[in-house]
């Protein structure tokens, strides 16, 4: 299967659950747009968590485009709460794996996107602060265009 998330432009909708540092799980919905420029790929998304303490998380990844034949690339994101994050995306079979850490090393995390079909992915991830779990998420993505 050829990967369609990140590697092609498009809009995606995600739904699932978000779990906070206390283990409280709430429904989550997200919208993600992938845009390709000649020298930069951009992954912009917004996730809304409903339930006890509704929250909205916005993120913008700036991704170095994969060169033909490459399986790994780097990305950078800036969060108003965490600061600058640096990470990698690596293609491993039916999955896209990502690992990242903050500029000062206090935040880190990982996530994966497993392709179910050309128009669907499963996404699982975790954010850590100084080795302790801050949050995790379980989302199912569906291509919108």
As a whole number of angstroms, the distance between CA 108 and CA 97 comes to 14
pTM confidence score? 0.93
Instruction: For residues 102 and 76, give the distance between their C-alpha atoms in angstroms, rounded to a whole number.
Output: 10
Counting other chains too, the contacts that 53-61 makes at CB distance below 8 Å and 24 or more residues apart are: 53/20, 61/87
Per-residue pLDDT tens for 11-44? 999 999 999 999 999 999 999 999 999 999 999 9
- Cα–Cα distance for residue pair 65/118, rounded to 1 Å: 20
The domain limits of the chain are 10-143
pLDDT tens digits along 44-93: 999 999 987 778 988 999 999 999 999 999 999 988 778 899 999 999 99
* 104: CB partners within 8 A, 6+ apart: 83
Check if the beta carbon of residue 21 is closer than 8 Å to that of residue 41.
no
The yes-or-no verdict on residue 137 having pLDDT over 90 is yes
Q: Check: CATH 2.60.450.10 for 10-143?
A: no
64: left (phi over 0), alpha (psi -120 to 50) or beta: beta
SS3 111: strand
């Amino acid at each position: 299967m050829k990967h369609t998330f990140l590697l092609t432009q498009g809009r995606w909708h995600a739904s699932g659950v978000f779990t906070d540092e206390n283990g409280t799980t709430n429904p989550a919905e997200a919208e993600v747009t992938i845009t390709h420029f000649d020298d930069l790929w951009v992954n912009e998304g917004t996730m809304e968590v409903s339930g006890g303490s509704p929250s909205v998380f916005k993120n913008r990844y700036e991704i170095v485009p994969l060169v033909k034949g490459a399986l790994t690339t780097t990305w950078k994101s800036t969060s108003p709460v965490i600061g600058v994050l640096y990470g990698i995306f690596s293609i491993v079979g039916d999955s896209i794996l990502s690992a990242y850490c903050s500029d000062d090393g206090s935040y880190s995390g990982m996530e994966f996107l497993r392709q179910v079909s050309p128009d669907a992915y499963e996404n699982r991830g975790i954010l850590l602060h100084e080795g302790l779990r801050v949050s995790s998420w379980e989302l199912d993505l569906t291509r919108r265009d």
